[in-house]
Amino acid sequence: MIIDKKNDIKDRQRAAELVVNVGLLFNAILAFVKVSVGIIGHSQGLLADGINSVSDVIYFVVVKIFVRLSGKPADSKHPYGHHQLESIAALVVGAFVITTGAAIFWDSVNSAFDLFVGTAPQFKVRMFVLGVALVTIISKIFLTLHANRISQKTGNLAISALARDHRNDIFASMGAAIGIILNMLGIAWGDPLAGAVVALIVAKTGLDILREASSDLMDNVPSKEIASRIHELLDGVEEIKSIEDIHAHRFGPYLVLNLTIGIDGDLSVKDGDKIADTVEIKLISSLKMLRKVYVHYHPVNIKDLYY
């Protein structure tokens, strides 16, 4: 069972690193192409989208470092491993997403206003720019589906944050495409205005990522769901007369459980230890993300359970 858990952790680490590496490669290529084409093709929307991809490259590098460090084994200072670094990586992603959204928003609004009042030169966006935006949308759909699948499989918050950022990029590229089409129809300020709307969506997702990662670091655990599952698993253990306290602490995707049970007070300490061992083995073997169980037992008055 221990070997299986170690293999699961290694497989989970490899899957997470694959998502980061694939995303980093795609974003590096897209950043170069979109910035270059945005400048050559006179598209403010695609240029803003390209800048967004440049920021993606930067924080993908940061996340790559954090994900790699999170796979380090437990040591004397970190007895439960380094998986909390995944939540910290998610915080980094959220902060970058919000910053990028805010920067794109103000730049886009200013450009749209200047074009609307006629204080900035109007350039006709070239047709090939639209093709780049459409290719970006298709690429990001693939990356989103891939990252979502790994996120659901591993429960990795950092990968979940990257999946949502990929999804953001779909909206950003769609906004750029809409702006390009408006420009082709003679509405020059439509290009940067579409970028501003998309920037708001991007910033909102960044806030959601920060909220989830912060909750995880604050031990925000779905206690009712866990408690229900634990009661279900331990109902068949006759020696347990009551389950009184269940406290779960999250370490990355993993859980450490503190459990208080009531047993017959006439049992010996040795018998109590056997019951505690039974509980620990049963829970760890049944709950995939559970790494450690601390069982506290004390005597209960059997009559109180029935009267």
Give residue 8's pLDDT.
59
Cα 44 off chain centre by: 30
Give residue 74's pLDDT.
62
What is the spatial distance between Cα 50 and Cα 35, in angstroms, rounded to a whole number? 5
Digit-coded pLDDT (tens) for 111-151: 777 767 766 566 666 778 888 889 989 999 999 999 888 88
- Whether the CB-CB separation of 131 and 122 falls below 8 Å is answered with no
Low-confidence ranges of the chain (pLDDT < 50): 1-3, 222, 303, 305-307
Cα 11 off chain centre by: 18
Give residue 284's pLDDT.
83
The Cα angle at residue 177 between residues 134 and 172, in degrees rounded to 5: 90
3-state secondary structure of 91: helix
**CB neighbourhood size of 102 (10 A):** 15
- Whether the CB-CB separation of 210 and 99 falls below 8 Å is answered with no
Give residue 91's pLDDT.
78
How far from 153 is each of 12, 215, 257, 283, CA to CA, in Å? Answer: 8, 20, 22, 20
H helical segments located in the chain: 2-40, 44-70, 84-117, 127-154, 157-184, 190-217, 223-234, 269-286
- Whether the CB-CB separation of 176 and 43 falls below 8 Å is answered with yes
Give residue 254's pLDDT.
65
What is the spatial distance between Cα 107 and Cα 199, in angstroms, rounded to a whole number? 10
Half-sphere exposure of 162 (CA within 13 A, CB side): 41
